[in-house]
């Protein structure tokens, strides 16, 4: 499995290079024009290093059902500029699929397409975007007024069973590594076992009892490379094992609070506590399916009724689950629309409730923002990167200081990245 051609292409593009000099003005004007901003909010937002710790990749020229209302990426450069977003971790993610050689090849092809897509974004000089490979690169990009793209990785199914392939992704620029998505793989158990239509049931809750032997080796290798271990979407047991095993702080790149929304891929209090103990960060997402009030019995009953009418399993790990099992596109659209109507538009206030919960429980040094944009995320007031200022407005209204907000938006992520780099073993190559 070789990604060297993509790595070479990205390397040729450069890491932090001259891509034009208009971004500072482009970023400043929309932020200054925001009518809802409190007197000091604009300056706080403008001065902060604003980092989105997780978004999916929509390669230029492709379509996606998860794109914004305009059919375009929710984190495209123009929207980042408008919202004062300085950096985004763009995740080379794949979903569940066959765990055999054909399935692994298909997963690698998807990964290759997404890496190529990021390379195309960087290559377009109008985007004024650069690929960053280090904490220093990230700071330099911010100081130069450039958009910083950081590569992430999600679902070790891309690797097949080859731990050494992590090196190829690191060489291509990946710095944030998450081992699972939906469904278990050969490396770890997922917090979201997939539904197997043939038997009418989910996978077993645990296949490996957390991390497999390959998963343990992967965490050790990510540490050795100087990458960040991302525990989002790992099962609780796998997450706790990864936290214990990692020598560097870990992050959850896009995970909310299970005590507020009882969704299987949200984090328990124990996971939140343990991440903080490592010096790590929980990045909260504006994702309605992970923010809804799961204690609302009427809402739960209505969600179950919609699922039953759509012919999918009534029990759910999150409300939209199994939409992909509905073959008829019209019926699928009707199902997702009905669930969406039940959940409502969501709000920045509810997202901030989750940030508050983490900050009050373990401190402001351990909370951040990871949107999960381009994968179904988005709420009223924070539907894409262009509306990021609204989060800052809400934080100011809730009494967070400028220093707190700088930590939440990017300072905490930068600290973890530096620490991961510091612990990189000297003999790991490029």
Tell me the pLDDT tens digit for each residue of 174-183: 999 999 999 9
Judged against a pLDDT cut of 50, whether residue 3 lies above it is answered with: no
Q: Which neighbouring-strand residues pair with 33?
A: none
The pLDDT value recorded for residue 199 is 66
What does the pLDDT average to over 74-78?
A: 97
Q: Residue 104 — pLDDT band, cuts 50, 70, 90?
A: very high
Query: What integer pLDDT is reported at residue 49 of this predicted model?
Result: 98
Share of the chain above pLDDT 70, in %: 90
If one counts every other C-beta atom within 10 angstroms of the C-beta of residue 164, the result is 10
pLDDT band at 371 (very low <50, low <70, confident <90, very high): very high
pLDDT digits (tens, 9 = 90+) for 150-165: 999 999 999 999 999 9
Residue 326 has pLDDT above 50, yes or no: yes
Q: Is the pLDDT of residue 9 over 50?
A: no
The pLDDT assigned to 25 comes to 33
Higher pLDDT, 149 or 25: 149
Q: How confident is the model at residue 109 (pLDDT cuts 50, 70, 90)?
A: very high
Domains, the chain, ranges and CATH? Answer: 4-291+348-422 (3.20.20.140), 293-345 (no CATH)
Q: Do you know the residue count of the chain? A: 430
Residues 384-416: pLDDT tens digits?
Answer: 999 999 999 999 999 999 999 999 999 999 999
Instruction: Indicate the pTM of the whole model.
Output: 0.90
pLDDT at residue 198, as a whole number: 66
Range 75-97 burial, b when 16+ CB lie within 10 A, else e: bbbbbbbbbbbbbbbbbbbbebb
Average pLDDT for 56-83:
94
Q: Which two tokens stand for residue 150?
A: 């950081």
Across all residues in the chain, what is the average pLDDT? Answer: 90
* Amino acid 430: pLDDT: 52
Distance, in Å, from the CA atom of 120 to the CA atom of 147, rounded to the nearest integer, reads 14
Confidence at residue 4, expressed as pLDDT on a 0 to 100 scale:
36
């Amino acid at each position: 499995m070789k990604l060297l051609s993509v790595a070479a292409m990205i390397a040729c593009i450069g890491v932090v290079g001259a891509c034009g000099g208009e971004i500072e003005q482009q970023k400043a004007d929309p932020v200054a024009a925001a009518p809802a901003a409190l007197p000091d909010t604009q300056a706080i937002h403008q001065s902060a290093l604003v980092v989105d710790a997780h978004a999916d990749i929509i390669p230029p020229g492709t379509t996606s059902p998860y794109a914004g209302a305009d059919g375009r990426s929710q984190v495209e450069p123009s929207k980042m500029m408008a919202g004062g977003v300085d950096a985004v971790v763009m995740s080379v993610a794949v979903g569940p699929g066959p765990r055999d050689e054909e399935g692994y090849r298909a997963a690698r092809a998807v990964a290759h397409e997404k890496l190529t897509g990021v390379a195309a974004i960087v290559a377009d000089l109008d985007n004024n975007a650069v690929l960053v490979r280090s904490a220093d690169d990230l700071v330099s990009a911010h100081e130069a007024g450039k958009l910083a793209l950081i590569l992430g990785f999600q679902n070790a199914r891309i690797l097949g069973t080859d731990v050494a392939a992590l090196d190829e992704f690191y060489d291509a620029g990946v710095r944030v590594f998450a081992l699972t998505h939906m469904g278990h793989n050969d490396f770890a158990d997922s917090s979201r076992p997939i539904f197997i239509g043939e038997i009418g049931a989910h996978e077993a809750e645990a296949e490996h009892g957390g991390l497999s032997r390959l998963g343990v080796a992967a965490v050790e290798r990510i540490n050795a490379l100087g990458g960040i271990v991302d525990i989002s979407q790992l099962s609780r047991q796998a997450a706790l094992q990864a936290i214990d095993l990692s020598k560097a702080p870990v992050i959850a790149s896009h995970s909310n609070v299970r005590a507020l929304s009882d969704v299987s891929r949200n984090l328990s209090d124990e996971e939140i506590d343990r991440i903080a103990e490592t010096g790590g960060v929980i990045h909260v997402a504006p994702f309605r399916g992970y923010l809804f009030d799961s204690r609302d019995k009427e809402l739960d009953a209505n969600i179950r009724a919609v699922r039953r009418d759509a012919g999918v399993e009534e029990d759910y790990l999150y409300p939209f689950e199994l939409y992909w099992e509905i073959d008829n596109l019209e019926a699928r659209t009707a199902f997702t629309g009905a669930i969406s109507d039940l959940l409502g538009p969501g709000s920045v206030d509810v997202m901030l409730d989750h940030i508050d919960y983490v900050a009050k429980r373990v401190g402001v040094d351990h909370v951040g923002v990871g949107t999960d944009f381009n994968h179904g995320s988005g709420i009223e007031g924070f539907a894409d990167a262009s509306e990021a200022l609204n989060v800052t407005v809400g934080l100011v209204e809730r009494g967070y200081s400028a220093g707190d907000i700088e930590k939440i938006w990017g300072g905490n992520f930068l600290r973890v990245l530096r620490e991961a780099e510091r612990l990189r073993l000297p003999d790991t190559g490029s």
